[in-house]
Amino acid sequence: MKTKSRLTFASMPKDYSALCQVFPPRPIHDEVGYRNTVEIADVFAGFEERMSKDQNDYFDLLCQLIESYEDAWSKPPAIVGLPLLIHLVEEQGLSGADISRILGRSSSLGPMILRGERKITADHAVSLGRHFGLRPDAFLG
């Protein structure tokens, strides 16, 4: 979703429900969502003293969403590589076949990776990162 360009603080609604019609706040899952959320938050930046209570709440929520996304992409997980993948598989109740489907490869690849018989490649890491919402390099440790 691309936001309308050239929004100004003066053009923004004062009540929360109308603000949500301009740009509904949602968890950020990708770079496009991140850029769009930052674009809207930037409209409010510097106008804190002039914001209505609803505008302030809305701005605070946008800032929390942005911070959450930035934290997820800037901090490496405590465990990486195969141990991370095994943890995620167990936590989410997945199987080796599920990993094969995530990777879009043969049904034997997922179980082989989980047993340590095959390494996680850069292409695998990209697919796993996209699926689990993590940076691909988290799977290459």
Could you write out the DSSP letters of every residue in 18-73? HHHHHS------SHHHHHHHHHHHHHHTT-GGG--HHHHHHHHHHHHHHHHHHHHH
Question: In whole angstroms, what separates CA 78 from the centre of its chain?
Answer: 18
Helices H / strands E in the chain, number of each = 7, 0
Q: Which of the following CATH numbers is that of domain 81-139: 2.130.10.30, 3.30.360.10, 1.20.1250.30, 1.10.260.40? A: 1.10.260.40
Please check the confidence at residue 90 and state whether its pLDDT lies above 90.
Answer: yes
pTM score above 0.75: no
Residue-level pLDDT at 71: 81
CA distances from 81 to 13, 93, 124 (A): 46, 18, 11
CB 29 within 8 A of CB 22: no
Residue-level pLDDT at 2: 52
Mean pLDDT, to the nearest integer, of 40-67? 95
Residue-level pLDDT at 97: 96
Residue-level pLDDT at 78: 79
Mean pLDDT, to the nearest integer, of 84-103? 95
Mean pLDDT, to the nearest integer, of 30-39? 91
Mean pLDDT, to the nearest integer, of 28-56? 93
Per-domain boundaries in the chain: 9-74, 81-139
